[in-house]
Structure 1
C-alpha cells in the first residue's frame, strides 16, 4: 500500500530531505479523478486511472530497455526506433547512457535482467514484460531503489507503475467485427491466429476476438499459435488450410505477411481478413484485391514509454496508464506511397508513427541502428 500524504510528510520530517534522498527512496503521489497531466496530447490517461508524480531528479539519465522476445520484425523495428530516437541531439542531451537487453521468453531471465539494471544504478527501465502477473516483487525492488519502471506493449496486471499501450481488447474486437460483418454468409470456420503465449497482449486480443465470434450460431472457431512471427504464421496457416480449410474469415494478431503468403500459396478463396501493419501484407492485400482491415500496434510505443520515463524523472505528472489510439487501415483506402510502400521491406511496420507524441522516425534513421544488445 502506498503511504498517505500525512505518512509521507512525517517520514520526510523524520529523516530530513537529505536523508530521504540518501536512502534512494522516491515517494510517488497518486491522485484520483481528473488531473492535469504533462503533455496531455501524448500522455492521455486511460479512463479511471490515476496520475503519478515523483520528486524530480536532475539529468542526464542512464536508461535501459529490458526486452524479452526479440525474434520478429516488430521487436527489431522497436529496438531500432528507440535507438534512433535516443541518438537525435535533442534527445541525446537527456540520456547519459542507453542500455538494450533482450532476454528471450523466460520470465526469470527478464526479471533477473531488470534486477541487474536496478543494481547497476540505472535511473529508468522500460520493458515489454514476458508475463503480466510475475513482476510485483521486482516493481517493489525498483521503487525502493528509486528506479522508474515503465512497462509498455505487454502491460502488467498492476497500477503501481506508469504503463504505455494501446487498448488491446478493443483493438482485436474491431478487427473481428469487421471480418464478421463482411462475411457474405454468417457461418463456417473462422481462423484465429494468436500471438506469443503468456503475454498480456495475446491474452487480451484473444478476449476481443472471442467477444465477437463466441456464441454465434453456425460459426466454428479454429485457433492456431503464430508467435507474432511471419514464418511461424505462414506455416501454421498453411497447415490449418490443408487440414481444416477453407475458412470463411481470418483474424491474425500479427505476422500478416506470413498469412498472406500462406493464402496465396494455397490459392485460398477471397474472404474478409483482420490483419496487422506489415508492409508486405498491405501490398498483397491491395494488389490481390482482398477485403481487409489492418490495425497497427506501433513499435514506437517504446519511444513513448521512454519519453514518459524521462518526464517522470523530471517530476512531471504522468498518467498511470497511457492508452494511445490505434492506427487503422482499410483495404479500400490502401494506396502505394501513402499508407504502404512497394519500395519498403515486407517486414516494415506501416502506420508506426505516433504523431500525437511527435514520434516520427523515417526508415533511413531506423536502418542506421541495429537490434543488438548494447
Structure 2
C-alpha cells in the first residue's frame, strides 16, 4: 500500500507539471544549458548492499543537459559517475564505483530566483536500483555566459524503504538566449510602456517623452482639459486651466497681484499690496508709592499689565522710568529713594513681564519735580511716584 501511495503522489506531481506547462508559454531567458558539477552523496545507513551495508557518504561527478520549454518549465538529463563507501560483510570499509542516470522536470520561479525539480534516477553501484528524487536549486549569475549551479536533492528507493540525499556544486553554460520582443505601446501614444508614465492616454492626445499629455502654457493643467490654453506664465489657474481672477478679493487680479494674500478689509495699491499709514502711538503710566517706600505694591495692577502689553506690541520702543519723591526729607535721601523706586519698577517689568532690560532706562529726580507743591498729605501722596511715557510712530494698514 505504501509503494502504491508513493507512485500515486509522483503521478499527481507529473500531471500538475503538465497542466502548469500548458498554461505557461512565456519566452525563457535562455533555452538550454550544459553543466558539470561535483556531488556529495549521502546514503541511508539502513540501505543494504549485496556485499555489505552502506556507509555515510559518496562522491560523484555529474554532467547534465537541460532544455527550457517556457520561462518557468524545463527538463534535463543527467549522468553521474558515482563512488560509494560501504562496510563489507567482513566489517571492513570498502568502496565501489558506478553510475547514476536520470531525468528531471524543473520549475523556475519568477526572475529565476530559484527552481524546484523532481524526477527518476537509475543507480548502478554494487547493485542496480531505481530512485525517485525531488530537490531545490539555483543558477547563480556570475557572467553573461556562465552560471554557478547549487542544488540539494532527496532520493527514495522504489523497492526498499530508505532515503538518500545529495548536495551539488558546479558550473552551467547557457545557450539560445531569448531575443527581446519589441517594446509595447499599449495606448499607441508613441511612448513604450516601460517609459510611459501615463499609460491610459486617450487616443489623439499629444504627449511628451514620458507619455503624458503636453501642457503648452505650463500652468499645471494638461492640454486635454485646459479650457484656457494660453494662460500667461506664472498665473494661478483653477482646475480648468483658467486664471483665478482675484483669489484674495482685494480688487487686483492674480496675474498682477504682487501680494496675493492681502488681509480682508484693507486698502491695496495697483500691485495688490497693502497701503499703510503712519500713526503715532503713546502710553503714559504713573505708579504711586507708600511713604519712604520703594516697593511696587501691586505689580499685577491692570494699568501696569496694559503698559507691559504695549511694550510687547511695539518691540522697537524704549522707555525712561522716572522716579520721584515728596518734599519731606533731605535732598540726598529723596534722590536715592527716587532712584530705587525707578529701579524696582524696571525689575518688575523684566522679571514679571519679560521686557528686555536694554529697552528700559531709569533716572531719579528726588523732590525736584513735584506735581503738587502743597504741604498736606494729599500733595505728598501724589508726589511719591514713578512715571513713564512711551511714544512711537508705526505703520498701520489703511482700512477701506
TM range (shorter): under 0.3
Rg bigger for which structure?
Answer: 2
Higher strand share: 2
More helix by share: 1
The TM-score normalised by the length of structure 1 is 0.17
TM-score, L = length of structure 2? 0.16
Q: Which has the higher contact order (CA 8 A, sep 6+)?
A: 1
